[in-house]
Structure 1
Amino acid sequence: MDSLIDPAARIGSNVTIGHGTRVYGNVQIGDGCTIGDFCVIGHPGPGDNGPLVLGAGATVRSHAVLYEGSTIGPKLETGHHVVIREGAVIGENLRVGNFSDIEGSGRIGDFVRMHAYAHVGKGSDIGDFVWLFSLTTLMNDPLPPSHLADPVTIGDMATICVNAQLMPGVRVGRGAFVASGAVASGEIPTGALITGPDGEVAGTVRLLMHMETRTRHPWHKHFADAYPEHARARIASLGAEIDAEAAALDL
């Protein structure tokens, strides 16, 4: 089965498209992208959507489905079986793990990291350098099922750990840490540590330390080297702002 590419699609130079992939006409693909086997690029969405704009240097792995009507910055990296719905505005170098989905009509900043099986509810607003680990859920319906919508907001550099649940309308402050299995709701302060099913504020991220190595949070002080060199000055500047704001809070 050969790929099916609509002649109306605008495809940049040095783009590789895998076996069995369909590219719809309402698509703009930047230079140097690699699209794997059995993907759908520019899947039609409900209503009148603009094109899917896929930035340069993307790596889209097999069985991913990217809908029309989203704008995705350079260096997207997806795992397998990823879905990105219409209306998403996504910054530079989003990494999305296997079987994750982004339900669209929201914003995702630069250098966001999503591990496998993460769910981003429709309309979510996610800042820069945010981590969403496996099985995290960002909800948006306060009385499901209903026509109500109260999406999640996550500030820059926040960390959402494995199987954490973010309730509709929660506003996670910059640099906050939502622990594994926690249920977060309401307003979460900058740099706060959130634990447990009641979303308790247990202190600040400065309490977190790996005892054997004495590695401490906040993460930007020991993990900036995991990012491209051109992002590190931003990490340092943003981290300093968050540290100062968190230090001023009485948690």
Structure 2
Amino acid sequence: MAEATTPATRPARTPATTGNGEPGAKEFDFKGSLATVAGRGDILLALGVVSILVVLILPLPKWAMDVSLAFSMTFSVLILMVALFIEKPLDFNAFPTVLLLATMIRLALTLASTRLILANGHEGTDAAGQVIQAFGGFVMSGNFVIGIIVFGILVIVNFIVITKGSGRIAEVAARFTLDAMPGKQMAIDADLSTGLIDEDTARKRRRDLEDESTFFGAMDGAAKFVRGDAIAGILITFINIIGGMII
């Protein structure tokens, strides 16, 4: 006669506990939260704007100014590389927003460096940090007259050639894109009615056309913002010179 066997029992599951030993609470996933924040571009943009406001209000120490200037230059080079290697403008449709953010960073650092120069200029040439001192020494080549001439040339190239030229290009591109929209929409409708494309392709082309018009319109506004930044940079430089002489 076979012996009766007892069924196998599963071990009791203990409830999850927190660091204090209290059951029923879930542990905080710090890495997951950081990954969520890093994946949300709007959160990173908001943090960047808040950081810019902090730089505008609070005075920065020298080491923070050096780090911020290094980050700004690296960010600008990264934007340039991305813009050079894309195939279509819509591949980098966030470029107007990124350009505005980079311009705001540059304005904030300009004001912060002005505060350091006027407040600590009596301490020496490194009053605003090592980066500004090294760049000024490299451009001036140890001669004040050479520095003034090179600065004037850079102002002319930056404001008259680059800023005004890029602003005009963005304005013309936005105008021609908006003027060509009705014709492109009619062409899409004609291709759809004749059966050359299906409904999904027509919907995709309309969406691309809308994104293109939005992109070039935003670029027109961003170019005007950059032009204002160039004018503000020139005025701030002259204010630094006059204020430094007075102080």
Q: TM-score over 0.5 for the alignment?
A: no
Query: Which structure is higher in strand share?
Result: 1
Query: Which structure is higher in helix share?
Result: 2
* TM-score, normalising length: structure 2: 0.27
Structure of higher CA gyration radius: 2
Name which structure has the greater RCO, CA cutoff 8 Å, separation 6+.
2
* TM-score, normalising length: structure 1: 0.27
